[in-house]
Chain A
Amino acid sequence: GAVVSQHPSRVICKSGTSVKIECRSLDFQATTMFWYRQFPKKSLMLMATSNEGSKATYEQGVEKDKFLINHASLTLSTLTVTSAHPEDSSFYICSVTTSGRGGTGYEQYFGPGTRLTVT
């Protein structure tokens, strides 16, 4: 598989502040990463596809100005939740596809997730 890290694992912030979440691919080059959010006891909902060196592709209904994605290198993608509100509280998870060396491009491996709580 692939090793994917996320930072921070947990964050609590006040309403109106911005929070940045990092997703790192530790052992291969990831041209594509995905960002999901997951509510308690629910499935994973894709927010956006992050492509290295280009703009992210957002799913319908996801506000691109609120959820800023930057994929600046082949090992790092960041998700910034701007002007966070309590309804943004959720579990945010990134994934990478193994399109690099040793991978087939089909499998997706997930980071450990970031629990965001907005008070």
Chain B
Amino acid sequence: GENVEQHPSTLSVQEGDSAVIKCTYSDSASNYFPWYKQELGKRPQLIIDIRSNVGEKKDQRIAVTLNKTAKHFSLHITETQPEDSAVYFCAASRGGSNYKLTFGKGTLLTVNP
């Protein structure tokens, strides 16, 4: 089955700095890679996703890059703000409604004011 590794497990940055979280996956058939943000006690929120037919996707301060050859993808957050502090999870899937997501172990991001 799919295996997703996520690094780092914790990340602390100063407000305004950039943050990068990296994930690798093992299943070459995976073609959908979402990122979720989860605040304490709350549900995971989909913040951005990418499919294997593109290499990069950007939405305001958030971007995701995908290297299918190397089987890794990354989340980039620029101009970080304290409200970006949360746990971020990457995931991988073969896509479609019947394919399950395999999650990484999460990264606790702390943005210090």
Contact = CB atoms under 8 A, between A and B. Distances in A.
Contacts of A109: 46
A44 B98 contact: no
B49 A107 contact: yes
Given A42-B105, A43-B106, A110 B44 contact: yes
Contacts of A108: 34, 46, 101
Contacts of A98: 97
B25 interface: no
Interface residues of A, number: 23
Interface residues of B, number: 23
B44 A106 contact: no
Contacts of A111: 43
B97 to A, nearest CB: 3
Contact of A105 (B34, B95, B102, B106): B95
B100 interface: yes
Contacts of B101: 34, 46, 108
Interface in A42-81: 42-44, 46, 49, 51
A1 B46 contact: yes
Interface in B1-44: 32, 34, 36, 42-44
B73 interface: no
Given A44-B44, A44-B89, A34 B95 contact: no
B74 to A, nearest CB: 18
A32 B97 contact: yes
A67 to B, nearest CB: 16
